[in-house]
Amino acid sequence: MIRHNSVILNIFIVLNIIKLNAIDSTNSYLKQLAKETFLQDETVVITNHQTSGRGQMGNGWISKDGESLTFSMFKRFDCLLVERQFIISMVVSLGIIEVLKALNVPDISIKWPNDILSAKKKVGGILIENVLESTSVKYSVIGIGINVNETSFLNLPQASSLKLETGIAFTLEEVLQLILKNVFKKLQNLSEKNFFEMKQYYESNLFKKETVSVFETPDGSRFNGIIKGISEIGELSVKTENDDLQNFQLKEVKLIY
């Protein structure tokens, strides 16, 4: 059983928030909790101090205590086919960017698959870990890191914060509540039937869509291409110089910008 100092607050009617003073990773914690107990749908874990935050592709996620948001959301699904699981990624990214746009954070876009950018700089990251049962997604642990009030990012020239991009200091709790409310609302009754509608909305917010860009493959070679959108399973669709449309998975290509 996991031991922690936690306060469970009921906001709205169904939402449980577990606030931890410190934890290695809110995603790891919530995943473990979901394994060991029957977690109420829409449970949230948040901490002020993440000692070993995890990012995509085995990268770490570093954040400053009291200046950023690091939290994970737990969501169950009734009927969501595994091959359409990218819809979760799209909906979560869209839920976040809607909030940031409403807060007047400038030039917001989504860098595939789910980096949140303001004026080409990363202000938020998402790590989604799905638990599957047969052909469906049973539940999802959705980890979100938002750089809110940081004013410097040492050796990270492509990172920024909401404060740096707007000149405004935000209240962490307010940004958190807005994101939780909007993302959970969008995830409710989610079904693969919404996939193509979401795909269109997601693509309209996609960074560098229809722009000639440079891509790098894992062996270090580079090529030019144009992002056309995403495939039916959420791969990045790039039109290459010889006019082919190629679909890439996350490990296969990196956008240089």
Stretch that binds ligand BTN, among 4-12, 65-73, 184-192, 240-248 (CB under 6 A): 65-73
Tell which one of 95, 145, 225, 234 touches ligand BTN (CB under 6 A).
145
Separation CA 211–CA 228 (nearest Å): 9
Of 36, 7, 37, 33, which is closest to residue 20 (Cα–Cα)? 7
- 3-class SS of residue 113: coil
Q: Which amino acid, 22?
A: A
The DSSP element (H or E) to which 186 belongs, if any, is helix 172-187
Minimum gap (Å) between residue 15 Cβ and ligand BTN: 17
Measured CA to CA, the distance from residue 145 to residue 130 in angstroms comes to: 18
Question: Which amino acid belongs to residue 52?
Answer: S
Q: Which of 15, 18, 20, 26 binds ligand BTN (CB under 6 A)?
A: 26
Q: Is 183 in the site for ligand BTN (CB under 6 A)?
A: no
- Least Cβ distance, residue 91 to ligand BTN (angstroms): 16
Are residues 122 and 112 in contact, defined by beta-carbon separation less than 8 angstroms?
A: no
Question: Residues 241, 247, 249, CA angle at the centre, nearest 5°?
Answer: 125
Q: Which of 110, 127, 148, 187 binds ligand BTN (CB under 6 A)?
A: 127
Segment contacting ligand BTN by CB under 6 A, of 21-29, 189-197, 204-212, 217-225: 21-29
Instruction: Identify residues 36-55 at the interface with ligand BTN (CB under 6 A).
Output: 53-55
Please list every residue from 81 through 100 that binds ligand BTN, using CB under 6 A. none
Does 27 contact ligand BTN by CB under 6 A?
Answer: yes
In what helix (H) or strand (E) does residue 27 lie, and over which residues does it extend? helix 26-36
Which stretch in 67-75, 87-95, 132-140, 167-175 sits in contact with ligand BTN by CB under 6 A? 67-75
- The three-class DSSP label of residue 125 is strand
Closest to 125 (Cα-Cα) out of 152, 166, 92: 92
SS3 of residue 119 by DSSP = coil
Closest by CA to 127, choosing from 45, 56, 43, is: 56
126 binds ligand BTN (CB under 6 A): yes
Shortest distance (Å) from residue 145 CB to ligand BTN: 3
Report which residue's Cβ sits closest to ligand BTN: 125
Cβ 96 to ligand BTN, closest distance in Å? 12
The correct pick among 6, 16, 32, 56 for binding ligand BTN (CB under 6 A) is: 56
Interaction site with ligand BTN (CB under 6 A): 25-27, 53-56, 59, 61, 70-72, 115, 125-127, 143-145
